[in-house]
Amino acid sequence: MEKKRLLRIFVSYYKPYYKLFFLDLFCAFIVALIDLYFPMLTREVVGTILPAGDLHTFWIFIIAMVVLYLIRTSFQYIIHYWGHVLGVRMEYDMRRDLFSHLQTLPFKFYDKNRTGHLMSRMVNDLNEITELAHHGPEDLFLSLVMLIGSFFMLIMVEWRLALIVYIIVPVMIWFSLKYRRRMNESFKDLRVKLAEVNAQLESSISGVRVSKAFTNEDYEKDKFGHGNKRFRSSKYVAYNNMAVFQTGIEFFSHMLNVVVVAAGGYFIYRKWMQAADLLAFIMYVGVFLQPIHRLSNFMQQFESGMTGVERFAEIMEVKPDIVDAPDAKVLENVKGDIEFENVSFSYDGNENVLKNINISIPAGKTIALVGPSGGGKTTLCHLIPRFYEVMEGSIKIDGCDIREYTIKSLRQNVGLVQQDIFLFAGSIRENIRYGRVDADEDEVIEAAKRANIHDFIMSLPDGYDTQVGERGIRLSGGQKQRISIARVFLKNPPILLLDEATSALDNETEIKIQHALEELSKGRTTLVIAHRLSTIKNADRILVLTKDGIVEQGTHEELMELGGIYSSLYKAQFKDNASSEPVMDWTDLEE
C-alpha cells in the first residue's frame, strides 16, 4: 500500500483532536526557542559579563535561565502528558473503528483469518501507533525548528566553523536514508512473526484440553517453539538494523564534536574566535544534533508505526461482500413464508455445496432437514440470514428476495441455535440476555424455564450470576445447549433455525426440550436439522438432502411408506445393536 495513502488514513485521525495537536506543537515550539536561546545567554555570561566582573548582571542572567527552564519544564509536561493523550485517543478511535469494521465482515473473512492474527492487529500493532501519533509530528516539527534555528546561530557564532559542520551533515543524512528501508522491512516482518506467535498461542490455549487428552503437550511445545524461534530471529534482524542505524548516527555525532573541538581550537590559536564563542558553538552543535537524533528515533517509530497503520488499513480495506442494497427495506410484520428457488452455493467458487435447491416452506410450518454430514444442511440454514450469499438463484421471505431487506432486520427476525455452542465469558444471565439485550429479569427467567434450565441455574450458589468460564467450560454440553436455546426463546423470532439443537442432551432432557421447541414452533416457520430422526417425526415435512440435492421429501409416515433412504436409516437407528445385521448410518449415503 502506498505510503501517501497510509499517511492520509493516519492523518485523518488527528482531525477530532486538532486543538490538542496544535497545543502540543505550540509547546514544542516554545521549548525549541528556549533551547536555541540558552547557548547565547551562556556565551554572553562567559564572554562578556564575567570578564567585566559584573556580578549583579551575572545573577540576573542566572535567574533568567532558571525562569526559562521552569517555563520549559511546564511546557515539557504538557508535551509528555497531553501529547500521549492525543496518541491514546487516536489509538482508541482506530481500535474502535477496526472492531466495528470486523463486526461487518462476513463469515467468509473469518473462515480465512486466524483469531490470533486479528488480535495482534487489534492490540500490538495499534500500540505502536500511539507513540507515532504523539512523537511523529512533534519530532518533525521540533527538528525543523531546531535545524533552521541552530543553522543560523552557528553562522552567527563562527561561519567558517559552521561550514565544516555542514559538510559532515549530508553524510549523516545519506547514512540515515540508506538504512531506513532496511529498518522498514525488518520491522514489518517482525509484526508478521508476532501475529503468528499470537495465533499459535491462541490456538494452543483454546485447545489445551485436547492436547492434554492426547498427551501432546510436548508436541504443542515444539510447535510453539518453532514460531517463537522465528519471532526471535526476526527480532535479531530488526534490532541489528536498528543498532547499525543508531550507532552509525552516534558515531557521526561524536566525530562531529571532535571536528568542532579540533577546528575551534585551531581558530582560537589563530585568534579567529574566542573561547566563549567555542563554548557556545559546542552547545549549538549539541542543539543541532538533537533534531538529528530525533529524526533517527522518528524513523524507527515511523517504520514501526506505519507498519501498524498498514496492517490496520489492510483490514479496513476489506469490504463486506454482503451489504444492504441502496433501496433495502426493513423486514417487519413477518408471516414466515420461505422459498428457495434454484439456489446454488459454493465456498470456494468451484465445487458446489448446494446446487439447484428448490424448497417451499409455508408460514408456520416445521420443515426438517436430514442427510449425511457435508450435504449442505447447515450451509442452507446459514443462507437464510445471509451469513453467506447465494451464488445462483434466490431465497424469498414473504414473497420478497431476502437481498431486498436490510441485513439487520432480516437477522432480527431469524433465531438460530447452532450445533457448535458458543457462550461468552461472563454470567449465565448475560449469556441468556444475549438473545435480547434489553430484556428484563422476568423475561430472562421465563426464557430459562421454557428451555428447562431454570431449576439447574437456581441450584447453583450464585444462580444467574454464575460465571460460565471461557467458552462456557464450567458447564456441561447439555447445559450450554439449553442456555443457547433460552437465548432463542428470549429473542422470540418468527423464523427458527435449529441446527442439531438437541444434539448434546440426554434422552430425558431431550424429550422436555423437544416439547418446549414444539411449543415455540407453533405459529412460526421452523427449519430443523437433525441426525437423530426421532426428534423430527412430527415435522410437517421432512427433506432428505444429500450431495445430489433433495432426494426425498414428505411426512414421516409418507417417507416410511416410501421405503427409501429415510425409511432405511430410521429403522437402522432403532435396530437392536445386538442384531447381527449391520446398522446403517448417514455415512452409507456417501459410499
Write out pLDDT tens, residues 118-173: 877 777 778 777 778 877 788 788 878 877 887 787 788 778 878 887 787 778 77
For 32, the domain range is: 3-316
- pLDDT-above-90 percentage for the chain: 4
In a domain, 438, yes or no: no
Cell of 385: 440470514
Q: How many distinct structural domains can be found in the chain?
A: 1
- With b for 16 or more beta-carbon neighbours within 10 A and e for fewer, the 5-24 pattern comes to ebeebbeebbeebeebbebb
Scored b (16 or more CB within 10 A) or e, 164-203 reads: ebeeebeebeebbeebbebbbebbbbbbebbbbbbbbbbb
- Is the residue at 481 inside a domain? no
Q: Environment class of residue 561 by beta-carbon count within 10 Å: exposed (0-12), middle (13-18) or buried (19+)?
A: exposed
Amino acid in the structure at residue 308: G
Q: Which CATH number do you get for residue 23?
A: 1.20.1560.10
Q: Is residue 357 assigned to a domain?
A: no
Region 531-542: what's the mean pLDDT?
80
pTM of the model: 0.69
Q: Output phi, psi for 497, to 5 deg.
A: -120, 110
pLDDT at 317: 86
Q: Which three cell numbers stand for residue 68?
A: 526559562
Q: Which pLDDT value is given to residue 261?
A: 82
Judged by DSSP in three states, 399 sits in coil
pLDDT band at 223 (very low <50, low <70, confident <90, very high): confident
Least confident of 92-106, 324-338, 362-376, 465-479: 465-479
Domain contains 211: yes
Per-residue confidence at 501, pLDDT binned at 50, 70, 90? low
Is the residue at 459 inside a domain? no
Tell me, yes or no, whether 50 lies in a domain: yes
Q: What is the pLDDT, as a whole number, of residue 168?
A: 78
What does the pLDDT look like over 22-52, one tens digit per residue?
998 898 888 888 888 777 777 777 777 777 7
With 70 as the cut, is the pLDDT of residue 451 above it? yes
Residue 471's pLDDT band, with cuts at 50, 70 and 90, is low
| Interval 40-96: pLDDT, tens | 777 777 777 777 777 888 888 788 888 988 998 999 899 888 888 888 888 889 888
- Which of the four pLDDT bands, split at 50, 70 and 90, describes residue 576? very low
Q: In this structure, are strands 541-546 and 366-370 parallel, antiparallel, or unpaired?
A: parallel
**Residue 141 belongs to some domain of the structure:** yes
What residue type is assigned to position 238 of the chain?
A: A
The C-alpha atoms of residue 340 and residue 21 are separated, in whole angstroms, by 56
Tally of residues, the chain = 591
User: Which backbone phi and psi does 213 adopt, to 5 degrees?
Assistant: -65, -35
Instruction: Report helix, strand or coil for 577.
Output: coil
Which band of pLDDT confidence, cut at 50, 70 and 90, is reported for residue 339? very high
DSSP class of residue 534 equals G
Q: Strand pairing partners for 120?
A: none
Spatial CA neighbour of 493 closest among 529, 521, 456, 533: 521
pLDDT attached to residue 396: 92
Beta bridge partners of 554: 542
Q: Report residue 100 CA to chain centroid gap.
A: 9
DSSP 8-state code for residue 332: -
Residue 269: what pLDDT? 80
Taking 60 as the threshold, does the pLDDT of residue 582 lie above it? Answer: no
Residue 372 forms part of a structural domain = no
pLDDT, residue 395, reads 92
> What whole-number percentage of the chain has pLDDT above 70?
91
Digit-coded pLDDT (tens) for 424-443: 778 888 888 888 888 899 98
Q: Is the model's pLDDT at 524 over the cut of 60?
A: yes
Q: Does residue 539 sit in helix, strand or coil? A: coil
User: Looking at this protein, which amino acid is placed at residue 97?
Assistant: D
What is the mean pLDDT of the segment spanning 333-343?
A: 90
State in Å, rounded, how far the first CA of the chain is from the last one: 49
Condensed to tens digits (0 to 9), the pLDDT of residues 374-420 reads 778 888 888 998 888 888 899 999 889 999 999 889 988 988 887 77
* Mean of the per-residue pLDDT values of the chain: 80
* Gyration radius of the chain's alpha carbons: 36
Rounded Cα distance, 159 and 132, in Å: 36
Pick 98 or 548 by higher pLDDT.
Answer: 98
- Model confidence over 139-154: pLDDT tens digits? 788 878 877 887 787 7
pLDDT value, residue 472: 67
